[in-house]
Amino acid sequence: MEPTQLLGFIKAEMTQRKRVSNTQSSSQNKRQSVPLASQEEDDDSTFTQPSSSQVQRGLERFTPAQVDQKTAEVVQFFLVRDQKKIPVRRADLVKHVLKDYRNIYPEIMKRAARTFDQVFGLKIVEIDSKNHMYILVNKLETAEAPPITNPTNPKTGLLFVVLSLIFMKGGAVRENLIWNTLKKLRVDAGEKHEEFGDVKKAITDEFVRQRYLEYVRIPHTEPVEFEFRWGQRAEVEVSKVKILEFMGELHDQDPQSWTQQFREAHSGSSQSAPSNR
């Protein structure tokens, strides 16, 4: 099933369900915010951001060619991670790439950012200031239309559906609701799908590692239950305005009728460049 077919199928299913039952109303349960458990060990604690004087002294230790070479290695590290949509952690960058160049980290990042901007048309965006995690974003997509707005492969179409459901349900959705909704769309998480492969693994593992989704345990549940939330990458790459417009088409309804979602989608939150702090 192609991404456009999946989204089109959702519209057809929604239309059919409206015909079957036009009287059922859905209520959204208000839930308290659940603290997000960190899935990363903080092995960045040994790194201290060097001061400008430390950077200057550090630069004196290396030749311009050595600094350029290390910058190229950082750029390559980002590109390799970006192929699998895996965010880059500062801790990994320092440990595996910078090593003895850690005292000139800010200068290396500045040069890498300039390379991405001028050569690749990409922008380094810090999506987690606490754990210092970065992703690459296409500058044109950032300015015009986020990449997830128009799905270009099957898994992206699947992700768009899951993110749309989470957004419309107030930002957090229990795991079983995701599986039940997909099953109504003839995508069974318990079976291998010809386009998506292992659906459950894609959603609970792949999309989570890529930071499109957060998979969070709900406290005080027995047996243990989990819920999904938007991940940090989704907040940067996905247009809530486009999701709301899409849902309006599905339901043949004015997007402004979803007051809370409309206000959130048009709140004007902007993407920010890495702080290098």
Burial 83-93 (b: 16+ CB within 10 A, else e): eebbbbbbbbb
pTM over 0.75: no
- Per-residue pLDDT tens for 53-87? 899 998 999 999 999 999 999 999 999 998 888 99
Phi/psi-derived region of residue 206, left when phi > 0, alpha when psi is between -120 and 50, beta in every other case: alpha
What would the pLDDT profile of 133-189 be if each residue is shown by its tens digit?
A: 999 988 655 444 455 555 556 778 888 889 999 999 989 999 999 999 888 888 888
Cβ–Cβ contacts within 10 Å for residue 166, how many? 22
Residue 98's pLDDT band, with cuts at 50, 70 and 90, is very high
Evaluate whether 273 touches 125 at the Cβ level (below 8 Å): yes
Structure-token pair, residue 73 = 């290695």
- Read off the pLDDT band of 23 (50, 70, 90): very low
pLDDT reported for residue 248: 83
Full set of structural domains in the chain with CATH: 52-138 (1.10.10.1200), 145-268 (1.10.10.1210)
**60: which residues sit within 8 A by CB, 6+ positions away?**
none
